[in-house]
Structure 1
């Protein structure tokens, strides 16, 4: 999905699913390796990772 298509709908889905947030890339930027100012991580207000920790995550069963 391109965020410029319907960013409000996408944000409402993040809220409804109680996700932490979203990682976005500036429209029109080129994909390059490494750190770039073209990327943003947008977290929803009030999200606490410990409160939403998955009980049966495969990464916890090593």
Structure 2
């Protein structure tokens, strides 16, 4: 799941900004021509559970 989100983020021009304890990118940023910045964070809410499927959260702001 993380790899797919990272691929989509890169395709949209988002730059990696932070990783989790496992080295997976979980925070991306993007600057727009008018100087505004956007941020997107992706993470599993229950990644410590015994097995998938997990619940994920995707949060963003401008």
> How would you bin the TM-score normalised by the shorter chain?
0.3 to 0.5
- Greater strand proportion: 2
- Greater helix proportion: 1
Question: Does 1 or 2 have the higher relative contact order (CA < 8 Å, sep 6+)?
Answer: 1
